[in-house]
Structures are given as C-alpha cells and as structure tokens.
Structure 1
Amino acid sequence: MWKILLYLVAEQAFWSVTIFEQRATVGGIPDRSSKYEQEFVTPVYDELESNIAKSSKWQLTTKDLSSESASSQTTTQVYDAVVAANGHFEVPSMPEIDGLAAWTQQHPDSVLHSLTYRNAAMFKGKKTIVVGTGASGSEIATHFEGVCKQPVIVSKRSHTPGSDDSATRLMLPSIVELVPQGRKVRFANGHVEQDVGHIIFCTGHLCRFPFLPQIPSLYDGLCTRNLYQKIFYIGQPTLAFVAMPMKSVPFASSESQGAAIARPWFNRLSLPSEALMRGWDEAFLLKYGSRKATPLEAAAFNVSAMNDLHGWSLQATKWQALGNGGLGMLPPRWGEIEMWIRERLGQIKAAFTAKGEAPPSYQDA
C-alpha cells in the first residue's frame, strides 16, 4: 500500500489520503513479528463496508479493532476513490485430496500452508513433502535442504520423471491420496511414501473481498473478473485494486499499478470506454480464466503487464510542477537483466545457501 501512496502523493492532486491498516503495525505481508501473531485476531476489513452512492462517491464504514477496549461503534466517511490493497495473500488455497481431512484430524500439526510457515526448525530430521514449485515452494524446499530428512520430497503437478531430481530433492507428481494410518502418501504415478512427518502446501492463495459484498462478481475461484488491467473495477473505475495477479513481481508490479491508478484519477490519462474495458476482461478470461496459467505464462503476462503500464504512464499529460520533465514519478520497467535474474532466482538462492550463508530474516532486515 505504501508504494501506491507514494504515487498518489506524487501527483499533488489529492487533498487527503487515508489508509486503513488491517494489522497492528504497518508493513503488510513482510511484517511477521511474533507480536503481530499474538495480538492480531480479526482484520479490520471484516468490519469494513463500502457502498456506491448516486454521487459516485464511496461511503466507507469502519470499526477499530486494534484495542481490547474497542467498542462496537463504527465510523463512516465519504471518499472520491478507493484503493483495495488487501492483495491475495491472506486466504490459503488447498487442493482437494482424498484423505486430507482425516489426516489433518489425526495428525493436526503435520499439515500446514506456506502462509503460516516461518522457519525450518520444526522440520529438522523429519521426512517432509513440499507440495508446489512456485516461488514459495522452491524457496521453502531450499530451506529444507540439510535440515529435513534427505532428500526433500517435492510434489509437482506437471512433473517429468527424473527431470528435476538431485541428491537433495526427490521430485514426484501430484498427491492423489493421504492415508493417516502409517502416515502414507500416494502419488499419481503409484509411488507411496510412508512415515511422512510433515506436508507443507505451497499451493497459492485465494482472493477475498469481505468488505465488498454488494459486488459478488469480482472473483470466480480462479481469477478476478471485471477488472480492467486487473486494476480498475469496470463501470466504477474510482474503485481500484492492486496485487491481484498471481505469480507476479509484487513490489515492482504494485509500483506500476500505483502509477496507473494515480494518473487517470488526476485526469492526466483517460481510461478506455467501458465496452473496450469489458472486451479486455473477456479476452483475458478466454485465454486464462478457465484454468490456472502455467508459471511461465503467468510470469510472462505479469512482466508484460508491468512494462505496458510503464509505457501507458509515459503517455500522461505532462505537468511541469510534477518534475521529471513534467512526467512525474515513473514506475519501474523490466528489461533483459531483470528477467535473467528472475529466471535464475532459485539457482541463485541455492548457491547462496550452499556457501553456508543464511539469508537475513524479516526481523534482521
């Protein structure tokens, strides 16, 4: 959210910007302090409602849950525009697997999602399965090397036998069944692992908008809908969203989205007609909406979208007071170097760990 704020302020056009933070402290997802875990119970967004008024302004009703003495009183304010920056990292997505419910009931501490993962200490010496090979899965599997019982077992949907095996990792296809007795895990190729200590699902997250119950068409379970460029709510573009695309480069993408939001709201850029925006949404749905995009497709789309937003920002009407030749604050643009690094990020992290160096924790940063 802070990246978005920078671009809104840089436009020098907004009288007041209010931020509603759902956590006890600012920082978003990187804020993983134990204090937060102990104190934070209910997100402010569960008590936040918004309504589209006839005047095209937004009425927001909030309740402060940060204090034990907080009353049930609410506060209502009216805004010209709203940015929903809750992202998609709060609700874990879990696959449907035969036996998962029974396994979780009998061995409740053995199953978790990457959302609640903090460090590898609890997995020391245990046979561990990592489900998923996205950014979180790859990084967590790297953390487990030399800590868990070797090799680390990694379940990958589109696995080719032997393609990614190494001395420290055993690559297997999707899990098809969990058997609590004997802690057995059966894979799609018939392979069975016994005495499994832990299973960590790195299977992504679901979008959740409890504060917008009157707009039920935002998410269909696979992707967000009715959002032009995955940012502007079609038909009411004074409602904008950030960090919606999965497998994105979150910080750089959020900057690009912040620039894209600020310029039309300051009337330095014009959005397409509603018909053209709906056409964009339908084209996206036809290409990706009926299935999950592959990691390569998602990465290519997100980098392309980020660079397109950079180019779009350059088309804004110049205003000399904004500096930078009248262009104002510009978002990042990725080139060959950034893509080269991203494609090899897993190898870079593995090489760093192999040198015996530990990456700094969130608390150390």
Structure 2
Amino acid sequence: MASQDISKIKSVAIIGAGISGISAAAHLLLAGLDVTVFERSGVLGGVWHYDARRPLTPPFPNVAPPDATSQYKQTPTGLTADEASVYHASPGPCYAGLRNNFDSAVMRSSLLEWPEGTEGTMAALGVKHYIESLAQTYDLVSRVRLWTRVEAISKPVGASQWNLRSQTFSQAAETFNFTTNNESFDAVVVASGHYDIPRVPDIAGLANWKSRFPDRVTHSKRYRVPSDFKNSTVLIIGAGVSAYDIARELDAVGCKTYQASRDPSRADRARLEGMPESCERVPGVSEFILDETVATSGTATSPLEETQTIPGRVLLTDGRDLKGLHHVILATGYVTTYPFLGELEQPTLPVHKADNKVIITADGSTVHNLHLDIFYIPDPTLCFIGVPVNTSTFSLFDFQARILARVWKGEARLPPQQEMQRIHMERKARLKPGDKFHSLALQDLAYAEGILKWVNADLEEAGLQPLTAFDDKWHEGFKALRAFVESVRPDLDLTIPLVHTS
C-alpha cells in the first residue's frame, strides 16, 4: 500500500462532544496529537443530554440539507438570550424517558468500563454520565470549547492546513453575545452525529394540517414527555426506535396510537420492540385531508380545545381512513447535513450526480467519498467518526477512532487514492444509497475484521502489537443480540458480505 503524506499532522479540530467526538479525542490524544473539541451546546454528551426546551420547528416538508436561506443557517434579530441559544445550538432529540436500546455490554468504549453494577439498559442520564466520565478520565474537559459552533471549514488548494471559523455564544443575564474566531488545524474530525435537522416527508396535505393546527402536528425531535398527549388518539409515522418508544410511553398515559410505516420489510419490528396492545400498526400515509368546512375557511384556524380532534382524516395507502386524531407525531428520521462543509455540501445536487469530491447531496442520507465511512478520499486529513447506522454505536465508533489514530500516527497506511475511490464506487454500485448505504445491520464484526486485515498487517510489519476489534464481553453480548434478532426476523439475511473494505 502506498502511504498518504499525513506525517505532519499535529493539531486536530474535532466537531462534536458526543460519544463519537470524545472517543476520537481520547484516542488521538493518546496517539500524541493536540486536540481541540468544538461543542455548540453547553454540555458534553451529544444526543444523550436531556433538555426540556423544544428545538426549532422544522419546515414542512423538509427533505433536503439546508441551503443558505434556511432557518438553520440564520439567526433572526430581536431574540431573547434563551431564544438565541436555541438558534445557536438547537436542543437535541432526547426525551425524558429515553433509554439505550442496545445492551451496555456492546455499547462502550475500549478505554472505559461501565461502573460496577450497571444494568444492560439505563436512562439517558446514565449514558451521558458515561461520556462525561470518559472525557474526565482522559483529561479532555479542558480541551472542549462549549457553546462554540463551527461555522465553516475549508482548505485552499495547495494549503497544508484547514481553516476553521467558529462562533461562540455567551450570555449574561438577559444579554448575549456572539464572538467569531478564525483558526487553522492540520486535520479535522467531523463527529457531529445524525440527529440534528428533522426529516419531514412531503406527504400531500401534511403542510396544510401543520399550518392550520401547528400544536397538533410535530416531529419526534420535539417530543419530550407523554403527559402532553394524555388520553389522546395519536398517529405516529415511522418505524424506527423513537416511534416504538413513543408508542409505549403514550400507552402508559391512556393513549390510543396508530403506527404507520411504508416499509413492509420492517413489519415484524413490532414484535422486536414489544409494541403495546393500544398501538395498531397501519400501512403508509397517502394524504392528510381536512374537513371541507375547515379547508374552505381560509388560512386562519382557531386553536382546538384540548379534547377536540383534528377536523379531518388521514388516507392510508391501502385505502382506509383514520379519523378522530388528536395529534400526529412524525418519527421520520433526520436529514444528514454538515452545514460547515461549504462547497463540499450541495443541497440541490441529485444524489446520482455526486462527483468524486462532494460529501453531501440533496438526498440528505448518503455521505459520499468516504473510505470505510471514515476517511475523506480526496484528502484523508478530513475524517468522520460515527457515520454508520444500525450498529453497536459506542463500541463501533470507538473502533473507528482507534483506526483513525493509527493512520494519522503513521502506523497504518491507507491505500492510494485511486484504489480508495474504486472501493467506494464498487460499494455504491452494490448497495442502495440512502439510509441503507451506511447501515451495518449487525455486521459490525465483519466491518471491523475487514479493516483489521490491512491495519494489523502494517502494525506487524512495523513490529507493533496488532489490534483486536472487540473484547470477549462485547462478543458475548453481541451474540445474544444477534440471536434475538434472528429469532424474530428469520427472513433477514445476516450473511451478506460488506463491500466497505474490499
């Protein structure tokens, strides 16, 4: 393998102080690099930090990365300090009852064990404390710049460093201030996660329902507590973890729920997640239709009384109608975006027109031109931690950070750029772009072992100790998880080879 010229990397900017960013910072610091972590909020922990405040309401619909005119890229004038802080760092998707859905045995860093007696699942606060403990153990807290949002990164042609512009929010009583800072770094790690900007599908009539009854239609990112929906009839659209969590929480406060999913391949997820009897699974939604008297009454609509249902019906793809709904919750995922990437993010470029430089296109799902979902192929001094989905998260991201540290330290060598591009294009040809493009689907071990083939070959050649992907505790926990999934989804083929590493 030809070696990339990364020997001059000394200073590293890391964007995000969730598990991905803290894992990367810890391993890079241990490798002897100087790290600075930029965190736009006021705390460590990423999505595991509960903030009772609601994030910004997304546009309806919202299916592409934000452009220059988006509310996510502009801060209005005349805001209070608290409102300005929400625009600067929108509260995350953590709801009060959130718990980890993967056992802690397969969800941990190689650098830190969970405290003695930790149960397999726990409240979000316990997970947040774990991330904070990791940062404290490796002296990272002083390296994290809180309330500092990265606005732009760029690397001029021929330059040896990345230019980074950040904005820091500060508040004193009811006054606030923004301070801009410009710096340069040898390398940049993007670890800002997946769960920032809600994806709102373009379903006929949905925007009209939202404009008429804004308090009755929301995205799951704004969901906080089930008591807001007590004794209501609620339509939940989506088939991910949040959809099932919310359905279970609403069951406990006397709600009748419908869970709509357009993807039949996820039909058995209800058994997998233990859906309550009060939740009825229905097919996808075709249209939101208001009653004629409301539809013809202009744009202004009086707020509904708490017990009133939305005056309309929801047409399903099988022709049935749902009526008598009090609320609609869209658990429809998120748009993948890195708004600080400049020209490397093209919000209007169709996914199939991505060249060998762009990273984000209009689909808002595919992260292009990454080798192993980590290294930016045109310039591996830009890397990403935490891109894969449907993984053992903490453990997998820790593994990625270990690989990154070995490469940037010069102990393992990347293939030539042309070879990395060939692997990436082969992967694109074989896998469907979008969410599934970055899904490991319980193939964490295959992904890791494929990477270790070349990493360990380089380490052994240099007389260094080879790496292992995961420890015995992880293997035991992951074996149990895989067996459970296979028992409820016998139709899944978990032997399909990955093309990430070949």
Q: Do these two structures clear the TM 0.5 threshold for a shared fold by scoring above it?
A: yes
Which residue of the partner structure matches residue 60 of structure 1? Answer: 164
1:20 is matched by which residue type in structure 2?
A: F
| Counterpart among 284, 294, 299 of residue 174 in structure 1 | 284
Structure-to-structure mapping, 1:120-199, within 5 angstroms: 120-150=226-256, 152-159=257-264, 167-181=277-291, 182-199=311-328
- Secondary structure of residue in 1 paired with 2:287: strand
For structure 2, which runs of at least 5 residues remain unmatched after alignment?
1-20, 56-81, 90-147, 292-310, 346-357, 489-502
- Secondary structure of residue in 2 paired with 1:29: helix
Contact 1:127 1:148 (8 Å CA) reproduced: no
> How many residues are aligned here?
339
Alpha-carbon distance in structure 2 between the residues aligned to 1:97 and 1:343: 37
Contact 1:178 1:184 (8 Å CA) reproduced: yes
What's the C-alpha RMSD, in Å, of the aligned pairs? 3.3
Cα displacement string for residues 92-151 of structure 1 (whole angstroms, at most 9, x for unaligned residues): 11211110010001111122222222221112111112211222222222222232433x
| Counterpart among 352, 370, 385 of residue 242 in structure 1 | 385
Contact 1:97 1:175 (8 Å CA) reproduced: yes
Which residue of the partner structure matches residue 143 of structure 2? Answer: none
Cα displacement string for residues 286-330 of structure 1 (whole angstroms, at most 9, x for unaligned residues): 2334455399x6514556324544666544526999xxx8457x6
Deviation at 1:25, TM superposition (A): 1.6
Cα displacement string for residues 171-230 of structure 1 (whole angstroms, at most 9, x for unaligned residues): 111111112332311110111111211121221111111111131321231311011111
Which residue of the partner structure matches residue 21 of structure 1? Answer: 39
Which residue of the partner structure matches residue 5 of structure 1? Answer: 25
Contact 1:84 1:240 (8 Å CA) reproduced: yes
Which residue of the partner structure matches residue 88 of structure 2? Answer: 42
Contact 1:45 1:211 (8 Å CA) reproduced: no
Q: Which moved more, 1:156-165 or 1:49-58?
A: 156-165
Alpha-carbon distance in structure 1 between the residues aligned to 2:326 and 2:483: 32
Structure-to-structure mapping, 1:349-360, within 5 angstroms: none
Cα displacement string for residues 225-255 of structure 1 (whole angstroms, at most 9, x for unaligned residues): 0111111111100100122223333322211
Alpha-carbon distance in structure 2 between the residues aligned to 1:227 and 1:253: 16
- Secondary structure of residue in 2 paired with 1:47: strand
Structure-to-structure mapping, 1:1-365, within 5 angstroms: 1-11=21-31, 13-14=32-33, 16-34=34-52, 38=82, 39-43=85-89, 44-45=148-149, 47-52=151-156, 54-67=158-171, 73-150=179-256, 152-159=257-264, 167-181=277-291, 182-216=311-345, 217-220=358-361, 221=363, 222-290=365-433, 292-293=435-436, 298-301=440-443, 304-309=446-451, 314-315=456-457, 317=459, 326-327=465-466, 332=470, 335=475, 337-341=477-481, 344=484
Alpha-carbon distance in structure 2 between the residues aligned to 1:5 and 1:341: 29
Deviation at 1:258, TM superposition (A): 0.8
1:338 is matched by which residue type in structure 2?
A: F
Alpha-carbon distance in structure 2 between the residues aligned to 1:199 and 1:339: 37
Identity %: 23
Deviation at 1:153, TM superposition (A): 1.0
1:218 is matched by which residue type in structure 2?
A: I
Alpha-carbon distance in structure 1 between the residues aligned to 2:221 and 2:312: 23
Contact 1:255 1:331 (8 Å CA) reproduced: no
Alpha-carbon distance in structure 2 between the residues aligned to 1:244 and 1:45: 20
Alpha-carbon distance in structure 2 between the residues aligned to 1:283 and 1:27: 36
Contact 1:57 1:79 (8 Å CA) reproduced: yes
2:470 is matched by which residue type in structure 1?
A: P
Q: Which moved more, 1:306-315 or 1:271-280?
A: 306-315
Residues 120 and 320 of structure 1, relative CA distance in 2, 3 Å threshold: farther
Contact 2:235 2:327 (8 Å CA) reproduced: yes
- Secondary structure of residue in 2 paired with 1:59: strand
- Secondary structure of residue in 1 paired with 2:441: helix
Q: Which moved more, 1:281-290 or 1:219-228?
A: 281-290
Contact 1:114 1:136 (8 Å CA) reproduced: yes
Residues 79 and 229 of structure 1, relative CA distance in 2, 3 Å threshold: same
Alpha-carbon distance in structure 2 between the residues aligned to 1:89 and 1:76: 27
Q: Which moved more, 1:65-74 or 1:281-290?
A: 65-74
Alpha-carbon distance in structure 1 between the residues aligned to 2:279 and 2:264: 13
Q: Which moved more, 1:207-216 or 1:52-61?
A: 52-61
Contact 2:442 2:482 (8 Å CA) reproduced: no
Residues 300 and 160 of structure 1, relative CA distance in 2, 3 Å threshold: closer
Residues 141 and 298 of structure 1, relative CA distance in 2, 3 Å threshold: farther
